[in-house]
Structure 1
Amino acid sequence: MIEHFIAFFIGFLIDRIVGDPHRMPHPVRLMGRVIGLLERAFLGKDSEQKQRNEERELFLGALLWVIVVSLTFAVGFAIWFFTHLYSSYLGIAVEAVLTAYCLAAKSLKDESMKVYDALEKDGLDAGRAAVSMIVGRDTDVLDEDGVVRAAVETVAENTSDGVIAPLVYCFLGGSVFGLVYKAVNTMDSMLGYHNDRYEYFGKFAAKMDDVFNYIPARISALLAIGASLFMGKEYSAKGAARIFGRDRYNHKSPNSAQTESAFAGALSVRLAGDASYFGKVVKKPYIGDDTRPIERKDIKRACRLMYATETLCVMLMLFLALVISILYYR
């Protein structure tokens, strides 16, 4: 148990300091390759499904999900078991690295700050290009406010999906649970689309991602509200709590607006609203109040709030770990 908590904290520090080295092998990229291979094996290469069999596609999508999750759990458990069996130090080191791979705080901050830097140095077109790397909407139609808003929304939503949720699963079950969560999240990212190919095949993956993120999303929002208390005059904990209570379900997903509403209230800006995808405008409700115009610095503010939310989460987890350890070894 002590070894697990040590590995967890070291993994958090590795991600915060180093992030994801792009040139090193990454388990999530390996998951993506496996998911892609299975997807092509089950659906074929033809993106246009001429003869639809909805029940078959739902079954195959669920089967892919079970295979990927089972394989991820088996490999993750084998790595954990045999490294700890060989040496406690090796086990801690490997679990810490895998835990860091499950987290994305520094990567999220780095990628969103590229949008800020692009706007500051090279203007709107560069900002559009930078934000296109982290969002799925059409960015060529965005004005500067739209680019900033998209970046802030990405930081807010991924504070749950990419930071707090994997922290929760890594704390509960080490890197094994963390890797399983990343597999679930990756399948949703690759298959959970409402289009001709994935409407039925990706439905199970999308629903299971909602299930796995349901509690972490709400924990993330509450932590963001709590973190806002210590963030100074640029942040409003009262506003975060108010907008969270009012707008946390202003999204098709039961989870996405949870942290977005807390961030919108904390920053006193309005997020979401209509967006264009593949040339088609999708109607979406607003999140937050238009208290003040959104500005470039809100990207920085969102990143600071994300880091503060993660830090508060880790502090609470370490306190809980201390209590558990004292009770266990008493």
Structure 2
Amino acid sequence: MSFITKFWIAYMMDLIFGDPQWFPHPVRLIGKYITFIENRIYKFKSKIFFGGVLTLVVVLTTAITSYYLSKSSQYLEIFLLYTTLATKSLGAEGIKVYKILKSGDLERAQKELSYLVSRDTGEMDEIQVVRSTMETIAENSVDGIIAPMFYAFLGSLIIIDGTSLALPLAMGYKAINTLDSMVGYKNEKYKDFGMISAKIDDLFNFIPARISGLIIIPMATFILGMGIKKPLKIFFRDRKNHSSPNSGHPESVFAGAIGVQFGGRTKYFGKYFEKPTIGDKLKEFQMEDIKKCYKIMFITSLVGIVLFTLLLSLV
């Protein structure tokens, strides 16, 4: 079975099944592994060094294990490739917040959003909840969809002893992304210990973020009839208006397509920060904008897999 066939099956499985909460998802297993190691090495004095040890051990263990699992069965490889994608689950989480807001239960919407973002949600008004939901969908369209696709397709070009590195690279990326989400914070506990995890995550998102912001997401907005000129204008103007070197790339295109302005006053770990703005405030945030984000994210995933398939077929 060709890699392209395998990955399309994995992609369709993601659209159908998503991420069932009852299922022992590999990313959750990676998260437990990170916690297991962290609990044993965080006590050491050299936080940067041992944070680097954590990153190295987790990523290498994940990649090597994935290689042998991939080698053992092509069906297991397909199944695990499916778990690297998050199109349905990301969209479902956003729509869940939308439906709760629609019902008028702001407090419940704040709580639901707190599972998706690291910012403080308890004091958010409706507009802030909508904005934060849209920002996380936009940012995670790279982390949860395009980046694992990119590394899977890239890895498929590298064959070792008859087995491609598609799954090891995709799953290794998920390990890096999980490390960043768990220890990559700039707070007192993790500013040193999580530094290398955060830097590695920035590095591995560098190319996918730019491909997404410049090509894939604008193509999605064009297909949806939202135009391509305005999103690209905001992309070139505002893509660097973010503390992350990568997050501003997808966010700028989403903001430009919908006509809203991301960023502004945001609370993290009890402290307020004034984030740089992204986009022009052509209108105020509305609940229906979450559904627009969902549509862009879904079509982005489709454009991504079609584009990578075409490129791979030319190699």
TM range (shorter): over 0.9
Residue in structure 1 matched with residue 65 of structure 2 by the alignment: 75
1:241 aligns with 2:228: no
1:285 to 263, 276, 287: 276
1:225 aligns with 2:207: no
Residue in structure 1 matched with residue 263 of structure 2 by the alignment: 272
What is the alpha-carbon distance in structure 2 between the residues aligned to residue 312 and residue 94 of structure 1?
Answer: 25
Give, as a single letter, the amino acid of the residue that structure 2 aligns with 1:322. Answer: S
SS at match of 2:103: helix
SS at match of 1:122: coil
Asked whether the 8 Å contact 1:273–1:283 carries over to 2, the reply is yes
What is the alpha-carbon distance in structure 2 between the residues aligned to residue 288 and residue 255 of structure 1?
Answer: 16
Q: How far off its partner does 1:318 sit?
A: 1.8
Runs of 4+ in 1 over 6 A off after TM superposition: none
Which of the two has higher C-alpha Rg? 1
Asked whether the 8 Å contact 1:218–1:258 carries over to 2, the reply is yes
Q: How far off its partner does 1:128 sit?
A: 1.5
Give, as a single letter, the amino acid of the residue that structure 2 aligns with 1:230. Answer: I
Q: How far off its partner does 1:23 sit?
A: 1.1
Q: What stretches of structure 2 of length at least 5 have no aligned partner?
A: 156-165
1:258 aligns with 2:257: no
1:206 aligns with 2:208: no
Residue in structure 1 matched with residue 109 of structure 2 by the alignment: 127
TM-score under structure 1 normalisation? 0.89
Residue in structure 2 matched with residue 87 of structure 1 by the alignment: none
What is the alpha-carbon distance in structure 2 between the residues aligned to residue 125 and residue 186 of structure 1?
Answer: 28
Give, as a single letter, the amino acid of the residue that structure 2 aligns with 1:4. Answer: F
Residue in structure 1 matched with residue 160 of structure 2 by the alignment: none
2:294 to 289, 292, 303: 303
Q: How far off its partner does 1:313 sit?
A: 1.0
What is the alpha-carbon distance in structure 1 between the residues aligned to residue 40 and residue 270 of structure 2?
Answer: 30
SS at match of 1:294: coil
Q: How far off its partner does 1:171 sit?
A: 1.4
Asked whether the 8 Å contact 1:224–1:259 carries over to 2, the reply is yes
What is the alpha-carbon distance in structure 2 between the residues aligned to residue 309 and residue 302 of structure 1?
Answer: 10
Q: How far off its partner does 1:15 sit?
A: 0.5
What is the alpha-carbon distance in structure 2 between the residues aligned to residue 192 and residue 318 of structure 1?
Answer: 32
Aligned sequence identity (%): 41
Residues 149-188 of structure 1, C-alpha deviations (whole Å, 9 max, x = no match): 0000010000011110011111122222111000000011
Asked whether the 8 Å contact 1:236–1:267 carries over to 2, the reply is no
Q: What stretches of structure 1 of length at least 5 have no aligned partner?
A: 45-51, 84-90, 325-330
1:58 aligns with 2:48: yes
SS at match of 2:267: strand
Q: How far off its partner does 1:323 sit?
A: 2.6
SS at match of 1:283: strand
SS at match of 1:274: strand
SS at match of 1:285: strand
Residue in structure 1 matched with residue 167 of structure 2 by the alignment: 175
Correspondences of 1:304-319 after superposition (within 5 Å)? 304-319=295-310
